[in-house]
Structure 1
Amino acid sequence: MMNSTRKGLALGLGGAALLLSGLVLAGGTEPMTATMPASLKATAALRDPAGQVRGEASFEQVGMGMRVTVTASGLTPGMHGMHVHDLGRCIPGVDPAVNKVVPFGGAGGHFDPGDSHNHDSPTAGNRYGHGGDLPMLKVGADGTGTATFTTDKVSLTGRGGVLNRSLMIHAEMDDYKSDPAGMSGARERCGVILRDNFTVRDYPLPGIQDFPEGVAYDAKKGVIYTGSAANGNIYAVNASTGATSLFSEGGAVGRSTALGLKVDVQGRLWVAGGATGAISVLSPDGAPVATLMTPPSPNPYINDLISTPGGSVYVTDSTRPVIWRVKDMKVERWLNLGGTPIKYGPGINLNGIVATPDGRYLLSIQLNTGDLWRIDTGTKAIKKVMGGLKNGDGLLLDGQTLYVARNADGVVSKVSLGADYGSGTLMMEEPLAGLRFPTTLAKVGADVVVTQGQLDKLQGGAPETPFKLTRFKTF
């Protein structure tokens, strides 16, 4: 929480000045790269509690800032608090501030990308106040209010991305200091922020605690597999119809979590078991084939795996500096990373892994540093391909293009690789229609499917349900 002096200063910087058209609000968010989709725009139709459209808000990414224009009608004259709320649900729900069902309570609390847990001024950095704390809307005697401003507290892409969240207008003015909503009263207008002219397909999952982490595609069966980081359930999703069934129940043969998934040439599904240190193999009908244990040692974290044309399966361990290999259903310590350019540190280290079509090279992303590495499977030589991909999780290699799911940043990054896979250039960071902690990717025909894992909510917080996979055209 911020001290009262700091809050008083923020309030003093607020007030009428914040309502001036064209104001730029400095939020102190992490700088965004210039690699983002052109003409990134979104719109929210603002509805009253009866469901009638009573206004509109538009959003446009302008460099590192987001320009917002709001018009709303049918409100009482005066100042009205305005915020971005966490969930894209303009439906009734429980408001924790009053502990009762209220109009638009389903939108949850204020969007808080900086984890400040504090309500503050629109000029406060996101470390000190909610990113969703916006300027107030000034409503005239005719009941119509308009506002135009630019902010870098939130954006249409990256960690502060507002796509598929809600813009809320309240009944009262915002005091910019009282938690959780500045004493701004009832929720009177709500609109879900939807990207303009952009379409994705979602595959909803049935469980309320799924937290989908891994994804793999069996082209012969037309089935997408996804696994739960929370309970180890593995679902089979018909890629055409979206019909979903439980392929293998969590807990089977000790599988309490399912992270990276891959389908081999025999149609078997390989499953990385995280902190269990296990690698599970399932038959094409879901029956257990084998549970392979890595050697006992402190703090295992088997994260992702890839099969190669030679029949080997290479496995990343995010906490122990080693790459494992499974050959003839036996686990071996294939490459000890001690003394190599890959230096392990606190947090998640090597994570996603892919192989070139001929199996000569492996590519693996180090999440905590953002470094992408190339490993020669013949000589075991290691080369740094590039940096700048922090929070890189799952990988998908499509020719000379590498797609990187960057979980906490809420984007899929497109990297153009050199002919020998030894160099890379970041081409674009794509937020799709609003990603929630994307973890892994799989190619499905000409499209890509990404998990919306929400692992940031695994240890606490309210995840958005239903959990889902999202399918999109390659970019």
Structure 2
Amino acid sequence: MKRLMFSVLPLMVGLALGQAVPASIPLTATATLMMPDGEAAGTATFTQAGNGVQVTVQVSGLAAGNHGMHVHEYGRCTPGVDAATNTIVPFGGAGGHFDPGMTGNHDSPQTDNMHGHGGDLPMLVVGADGTGRATFTTDKISLTGENGILKRSLVVHAMPDDYMSDPSGKSGARERCGVIERDSFETRNYPLPGPQDFPEGVAYDAVKDVLYTGSAANGTIYQIDAKTGNVIKFSDGGAQGRNSALGMKVDASGRLWVAGGASGSISILNGDGTPFKTLMTPRTPLPFINDLVLLPDGSAIVTDSSRPTLFQVTPELRVRKWLDLRDTPIEYQPGTNLNGIVALPDGSALLTIQSNTGILWHIDVASQQVTRVMDGLNNGDGLVLTGQTLYVVRNKDGVVSKVMLAADFKSGTLQINEPLRGLRFPATAVLVGDDLVVTQAQLDKRQKGAPETPFQLTRVKRF
């Protein structure tokens, strides 16, 4: 059981779009609480406090007494279906209670998130004048990480919370709602059109100024105008047997390379979306081709998250085993193993992240010698390298980690874990000028729960 905490510690924050934020300023957010008619009737503030969040709420115009108060799943204070009554209600668009542990269990504010909703908060006490006030610090929620509440909603209900009855403690109608927005931080979103897009990979063609992103669920690939955000379908899912589109890269000829996941394939598409070539890795059990990197000599190195092998696509477009990882310090374990991969600018070495162990590895291309760079990057997915700076997209943790690498790229220091304005299981990122574009893949919602739509990519200044 976790307890409410009352210590306040600063958390390092990143860079707003076009504006540096000093690292000593704590991560903060605000929700303007609205009545159903859209009139503002209160404010809630959130300040990261160590591993928890300090919350201060003030709301007017409510009946005296105790009112249930919860963080809800979606950042939408719009009418929608209330699961408790199966009717359209004010603020039903906020969805159910935030439940990062996927417990399906409404419980007390002291219950840990593996056994109860993360959004179950202390009640709001309203006085005779109709003003409700609450101040508390809780480690059930955070402004960063898998318990992150940015771009979710705070909802105040009409009745007390019994902290027991599913799904909402018999707390009655939703009377106030506000979206939790990070303070002084700007991003730009690129919405996608499909209801099942689950955008995993992303690549950028600087010549055309377009982004490509692909669906982990069905293999559909979209082309996005980086300036206007206009989206067109570049290639249908299922083309050439591609039922999943994961890691992506654009080569010097403007062709798009796509890692095919469980199909074991690598697809190469022409600049107009037509197939150029489909390559198959060896037909051994449980393939999972996850990412690839293009080298200056015209070859590519490909990661497999299931089989302990790095594959090479030669300049002649032949696939061969390049490195048997069983002969290296990299030990494959249950779950997702090697995932994102990047190359040093001269192609002399590779950096790759092992998602299930959080270990970053350095691999010399000529000697194939493997060096452990650093630990602690759990759930690391896509990588972006610029100079000595490595960005590690950490899916379940909902952050992009900034790592400063040594001159030899064989050691590194974690500088910051950046949640942007609320990331939903981000998978990878790409540089677009001085910006990062991150996919909000929501792969955790493929089997259980409902994803937030529209799916989107998020663009932010490099921090």
TM range (shorter): over 0.9
The whole-number CA distance in structure 2 between the counterparts of 1:142 and 1:323 is: 68
Q: Mind listing any 5+ residue stretches in structure 2 that lack a counterpart?
A: 15-24
Stretch deviating more after TM superposition (221-230 or 120-129): 120-129
Unaligned runs of 5+ in 1: 1-5, 14-22, 27-31
Q: Displacement of 1:79 after TM fit?
A: 0.2
Instruction: For residue 25 of structure 1, report the CA deviation from its aligned partner.
Output: 7.6
- Residue 127 (structure 2) pairs with residue 140 (structure 1): yes
Any residues of structure 2 matched to 1:417-456 within 5 Å, and which? Answer: 417-456=405-444
Shift of 1:339: 2.6
Three-state SS of the structure 2 residue aligned to 1:379 is coil
Are 2:11 and 2:26, in contact at CA under 8 Å, matched by a contact in 1? no
TM-score relative to the length of structure 2: 0.95
Q: How many residue pairs get matched?
A: 451
Q: 1:338 aligns with which of 326, 334, 349?
A: 326
How far residue 33 of structure 1 moved from its aligned partner, in angstroms, is 11
Alpha-carbon distance between aligned partners in 2 of 1:80 and 1:372, rounded to the nearest angstrom: 47
- Aligned partner letter, 2:101: G
Find the counterpart in structure 2 of residue 66 from structure 1.
Answer: 53
Quick check: 1:101 aligned with 2:82? Answer: no
| Separation (CA, whole Å) in 2 of partners of 1:36 and 1:123 | 28
Task: Work out the CA distance in 2 between the residues paired with 1:226 and 1:129.
Answer: 35
Match of residue 42 from structure 1: 29
Q: 1:112 aligns with which of 99, 114, 129?
A: 99
Give the alignment of 1:15-414 within 5 angstroms.
24=5, 36-37=13-14, 38-327=25-314, 328-414=316-402
Q: Contact 1:402/1:415 (CA < 8 Å) preserved in 2?
A: yes
Distance 1:25 1:109 in 2: 27
Q: For residue 410 of structure 2, give the secondary structure of its aligned residue in structure 1.
A: coil
TM-score by length of 1: 0.93
* Per-residue deviation, residues 289-308 of structure 1 (Å, max 9, x unmatched): 10100010110000000101
Report the AA paired with residue 221 of structure 2: I
Contact kept? 2:72, 2:96, Cα under 8 Å = yes
Partner of 1:338, secondary structure, is: helix
Deviation at 1:228, TM superposition (A): 0.4
The answer to whether the 8 Å contact 1:264/1:270 transfers is yes
C-alpha separation between the residues in 2 aligned to 1:93 and 1:330? 53
Question: SS state of the match for residue 357, structure 1?
Answer: coil
Contact 1:25 1:153 survives alignment (8 Å) = no
Worse-matched range after superposition: 80-89 or 112-121: 112-121
1:39, CA displacement in angstroms? 2.1
Identity, in percent, stands at 64
What is residue 19 of structure 1 aligned with on the other side?
Answer: none
Counterparts of 2:102 and 2:120, CA distance in 1: 13
How far did 1:36 drift? 4.6
* Maintained 8 Å contact 1:351/1:365: yes
CA contact (8 A) 1:304 1:316 kept: yes
SS at match of 1:159: coil
**Residue 96 of structure 1 aligns to which amino acid in structure 2?**
A
8 A contact 1:25–1:123 mirrored in 2: no
Alpha-carbon distance change, 356 to 33 in structure 1, aligned in 2, over 3 angstroms: farther
Shift of 1:407: 0.2
Moved more, 123-132 or 212-221: 123-132
CA contact (8 A) 1:202 1:469 kept: yes
Counterpart of 1:20? none
